[in-house]
A = this chain, B = another copy of it.
Amino acid sequence: MKKKTLCLADIAEMVGGELVGEGSAFISNLTSLDAAGPEDLTFLVKNSESDRLVQSQAGAALVPVSFSTITAIPVIKVKDPYLASALVHNYLLKKPFHAKGIHPRAFIGSDCQIAAEVTIGPLVAIGDRVVIGAGVTIEPGTVIGDDVCIGEETYLKANVTIAEGCTLGNRVVIHSGTVIGSDGYGYATDAMGFHVKRPQVGKVRIDDDVEIGSNVSIDRGAFGDTWIQSGVKIDNQVQIAHNVVVGPNSLIVAQVGIAGSTTLGRNVVLAGKVAVNGHIHLDDQVMVAAGAGIHSSLPKGSRVAGFPAIPVKSWAKSSTIFAKLPELYSELKHIRKTISDLQTKMQEKIETTSEK
């Protein structure tokens, strides 16, 4: 497949940057500082790493606006080189969608509405009354339940499971092993200690531009829906329980678990392995450090860490002191002794003085 190319002047224009040096060279690849060769564009995120750029074999670089090192290669100064490089890289890699149609060894149920322009691989199983939009790709081993609705340009990797009735928006990407719409974990326990399953009759709704990593589990709602709103990015092995709502553009890093009916606002960030209690609300822009456990709701913009979570600065201080607890303990024993001695001396003194 022929690669796309762009000249540096055009790249500068695309990212709203300032070209320093010759702009006529054509670029067809972007890569890291270490890997870049003379044909490649690279990017420098921080001026403090400019040595790495000087040593790089790159043909050109996206650099911060404040970059002032003199280089032998042309550079494009731009506000956010990390973002700019992602935009350029996506542009260079983007290929037009070529629909391969439905593979004869895919299995399609009855009464489905599948756009003509799709790629559905071999050994895909699709249930009844499924709706699939144009530009969709479904890789082998993926199973789609009855009554699922999939928007345009959505990409389901191999061995994904979408259970019955769930809806996916446009440009959703779901990686392998992920399960959308398993039953929520809901039981009522009788007097004998036997657990009666509560029917889970809701579904999962996933909005546009959501990406979900591998081996993720998102449970269907008990009554209403579990809802992943637009632009949310979920990493691998995340567990999202029934009736959770994740607000737009939130980031959920690997191995996070969110218990039932909890809601997240916009641009919330949960770092790896965070545990979130059920029936609480994390407001917009809340940021939670890795491994934290959130037991109650958090106001907008909170920054927390620890299990149970406390403000991130307090946690850092308390953690430092935690490591010194044995010292503190000895100190306390020493203080007890000193005070006891003082008391004795004082008593003696009082008696001595009284005797005088």
Contact = CB atoms under 8 A, between A and B. Distances in A.
Contacts of A201: 31, 93
Given A176-B179, A339-B342, A35 B224 contact: yes
Interface stretch (A4-12, A66-74, A233-241): A233-241
Contacts of A253: 185
Interface residues of A, number: 114
A351 B331 CA distance: 28
Interface string A65-95: 0000000000000001011011101100100
A277 B255 contact: no
A160 to B, nearest CB: 8
A317 interface: yes
B215 A236 contact: no
Contact of A182 (B176, B266, B328): B176
Contacts of A141: 125, 141-143, 159, 161
A140 B143 contact: yes
A83 B196 contact: yes
A197 to B, nearest CB: 7
Contact of A353 (B85, B161, B199, B349): B349
Contacts of A213: 182-183, 185, 217, 219
B293 A177 contact: no
A241 to B, nearest CB: 7
A187 interface: yes
Interface in A255-290: 255, 257, 259, 266-267, 272-273, 275, 277, 290
Nearest to A36: B223
B125 A158 contact: yes
Given A217-B236, A236-B239, A86 B198 contact: yes
Contact of A198 (B89, B266, B328, B343): B89
Interface stretch (A19-27, A47-55, A129-137, A319-327): A319-327
Given A159-B159, A177-B215, 11 more contacts: A34-B224, A86-B198, A89-B199, A90-B199, A107-B122, A121-B125, A145-B158, A217-B236, A291-B293, A314-B323, A345-B350
The 3 closest A-B pairs by CB, nearest first: A125-B140, A182-B214, A143-B158
6 contacts: A31-B201, A121-B125, A177-B178, A177-B179, A215-B216, A338-B343
